[in-house]
Structure 1
Amino acid sequence: MSVDTSTERIGAEPGRATLRAFAGRAPAPASPAPAAALHSGGVAAAALLALVGIGALLHEPVLIPPIAASAAIVYGVPALPLAQPRSVVAGHLLCAAVGYVGLALLGRAPWVAALAAGVAVGVMTLARTPHSPAAATTVVVVLQAPDPVVFVPLLTGAAVLLVLAGMAASRARRGAVRYPVYWW
């Protein structure tokens, strides 16, 4: 007696049963209107270019990868809790602090960056400031050891600029989600 161990069934597409096991329960969101996508991308590019300009004037890098990721969240999905000012600004500052503590206690090493990023996620959760790009700020601090006297004000200014640009952008486009949904 032979047993059929394949996942294919009559009339089903090959591999469909396997894909179904990994599928979520809700459909993907609808595609945004092209004008909304263009608006979000344009505002993100303008804000990030402003940070590049500020960095050039100060001779300090202000645009770092976590800030670019924050822009994607603030301008792409402004209603999410991760996009709210509390999470953007406080999340980056808390994660920078965790990074500096990890750096001071354990030194500059990839394993310290990984450990500190995990701790930072826990701290953000406890503080109700979820912002995934901020965990990357922890990694930047541990691996690059920037001077906190310079880095923290620039990080704060960059996060605040993203929030202010998000506010302006939401009011400039008719029908856009009002940002922020809440402040604190």
Structure 2
Amino acid sequence: MSTDTAPPETTTKLRITGRAPARPAPAAAVHSVSAVTLVLLGLVAIGAAIHEPVLIPPLAASAALVHSVPTLPFSQPRSVVVSHLLAAAAGYATLAVAGAGSAAAAVAAGITLALTTLARTPHAPACATAVVIVLQSPSPARFVPLLFGASVVLVLMEFAVSRIRRGAPRYPSYWW
């Protein structure tokens, strides 16, 4: 005879522990806003100079993560650069097999997560890169070099701005 509820000794209660992080000092908040905005404006300036769109939404998310939590594995240069390239491969492969569409974009994001996990390059914004590719179908010959260059520039600019404020964590924790 089966029951729909587990015996009381095997059930667990959901416990919420811990606290939200402390509010940053005003100077740290201003630095963060300024640094991320500077990095993104740098990508915009490069795009304007070469007459190509260099700033795509996933890179804005990458910049925010890299600056906000610079010591975590998903913020490291290896994860930022490699994950976006794996996302491009997943996006274009999915586009070739399934065509453009919302369902295909969701599959491409899932494939990206699997690839970045296996490659030990976790970086959530890369899933959005795969979605952008499937939904917008940019030319790979144009998009992939721009994506690669922009992700490298983002990492280098974050490296530079992380050294401006004393006491701020230095980026990166490791390069590769």
* TM-score normalized by the length of structure 2: 0.88
Q: Does 1:77 align with 2:69?
A: yes
Q: Does 1:147 align with 2:153?
A: no
| Match 1:165 to one of 157, 163, 167 | 157
Give the whole-Å Cα distance in 2 for the aligned partners of 1:111 and 1:39: 39
1:25 Cα deviation after fit: 2.3
Give the whole-Å Cα distance in 2 for the aligned partners of 1:30 and 1:161: 31
Give the whole-Å Cα distance in 2 for the aligned partners of 1:145 and 1:43: 31
Moved more, 172-181 or 131-140: 172-181
Q: Which residue does the alignment assign to 2:119?
A: 127
Structure 1 segment 34-183 matched on structure 2, within 5 A: 34-183=26-175
Q: Which residue does the alignment assign to 1:4?
A: none
1:89 Cα deviation after fit: 0.5
Unaligned stretches of 5+ in structure 1? 1-20
* TM-score normalized by the length of structure 1: 0.85
Deviation sequence 1:83-124 (CA, Å, 0-9, x none): 110111001110111001101111111111001111110111
1:167–1:178 Cα contact (<8 Å) kept: yes
**Count of aligned residue pairs for this structure pair:** 164
CA RMSD of aligned residues (A): 1.4
Identity of aligned residues (%): 60
